[in-house]
Structure formats: C-alpha cells, structure tokens
Amino acid sequence: MNTSHYRVLVVDDDQEIRRAIEIYLKNEGISVVQAQDGVEAIEVLNEQEIHLIVLDIMMPRQDGITTTFKIRDQKNIPIIMLSAKSEDMDKIWGLQVGADDYVTKPFNPLELIARIKSHLRRYVSLGHYEGKSKAVDLRGLVLDSSAKEVTVHGEPVKLTPIEYKIVELLMLHAGRVFSINEIYERVWKEPGFNADNTVAVHIRNIREKIEIDPKNPSFLKVVWGIGYKMEK
C-alpha cells in the first residue's frame, strides 16, 4: 500500500497524543495535520484535502460527537474515534452519528496505525471495485458498484464508507445470512471478536437510511440467533 499520498487529520486536546500519533504515521509515510478541538478540525477540513480523521470524543469547545455530526453533513471520509473506557455510551453514539470505528485509550499505537491503514485502503478502494460493474436491483434498492452509489426508488442514499461496504456485501450475496462476526471480518478485515455493538449500530444506521419503516424492514432483515441478510 503506497501511503505517500494520504493526509490524516489528528484531533485531540492532548498535544502529546497528537505528537505520538504523528510520529507513527510519518514513519508510514502518511502526512499528518493536527487540530486541538472540533472547531479547528472543521476549519482544516474546509481548507485541505483530508483522507481520514482520528478524532477524540472528549474535547473543549466542540466535542468529537458534535464534530462527527457536522462532518457527516459534508463528507464521507473515514472517522476513527478515540475514547476512554468510561465512555462506552459515547462510543455507541459516535457510531450512530457516523463514525466508522473507535479505539479505546490507552491504545496500542501499532493497533491504531493498522486500523488507520485498513480504513484508508478501504476508502480508496471504493473507487476501484474489482467485481462486475452491473447494478444489483432488489425491489427498488439499487447498488451500482461502478458508480459506488446506492439508491432507494431512484433517490440516492448517503452512506459512510463502512455502511456502503456492509450494504455491498449483503446485496452482492442477497438471500445469504451473514453472522455479525463474518460481517465484521469481511468489512473491517479484522477478527470479529466483540463485534456485536459495532456491527449492530451500523446496521441500525443503514436501516434508517434505506427503509421506509426501519422497525419493520423490508430490505435488511435480521435472522434471530444467526445474523443479517438482504432480502431477495
């Protein structure tokens, strides 16, 4: 993976954490821009091309949740949240408003870098799907893999990179049931240990976007005790 063209925005009010992440990323050939809170982060995004954001949850002026919400109004770039162990509900809320992943403080820098590279690879690959480019149409839910677009009855659906990959996986294998761990391993490219909350939150977000009645979904179905499938 050639990382020399990528620029990561690291947002944290702790200068030492920002510097440490920058050192590790620069060793991988990845450019880094720093911001100390959400307000600065939005300013950077308006001025520079950023390919991924590492975003702390608890910050002065503007926290990570609010910042994620504002970013998702404009951009679909990957967001990895940093959170303390005591912030479990914040992590879930972060995923609900559009974050792609989270890493718990104190974190192993090598694990964080591996996740950053994985999300960058996935984000870039969205424009280079190697499968057939024909559209898949499931009763009005359409996946156009060449355009990387999902529409419902002709209306485009705004999905994050992770949400798109989940929808793509399920639609290209419509009717097949995938377990939570299998979805996590296929999409995140990591072992699916303790993946339940992460996958469930993303599934809930997808339903809110593609279903007329998310509580009674017609497309994305749960198979109790097994996993999820896209109805043929």
Buried-exposed string 46-68: b where 16+ CB fall within 10 A, e elsewhere: eeeebbbbbbbbbbeebbbbebb
Q: What is the pLDDT of residues 204-215, one digit of tens each?
A: 999 999 999 989
Query: What's the average model confidence in pLDDT over 95-107?
Result: 87
Please report which confidence band the pLDDT of residue 136 belongs to, taking 50, 70 and 90 as the band edges: confident
Q: Please, what are the domains in the chain?
A: 7-125 (3.40.50.2300), 136-230 (1.10.10.10)
pLDDT at 40: 95
Whether residue 131 has pLDDT greater than 50 = no
Q: What is the pLDDT of residues 32-73, one digit of tens each?
A: 999 999 999 999 998 888 999 999 999 989 999 999 989 988
Q: What percent of the chain has pLDDT over 90?
A: 48
Selection from 7-11, 79-83, 182-186 with the highest mean pLDDT? 7-11
Contact 15, 36 (CB under 8 A): yes
In three-state secondary structure terms, 94 is: helix
Q: What is the mean pLDDT of the chain?
A: 87
Rounded distance between C-alpha atoms, residue 71 and residue 63, angstroms: 12
**The pTM of the whole model exceeds 0.75:** no
20-34, 162-176, 191-205, 210-224: segment of lowest average pLDDT: 191-205
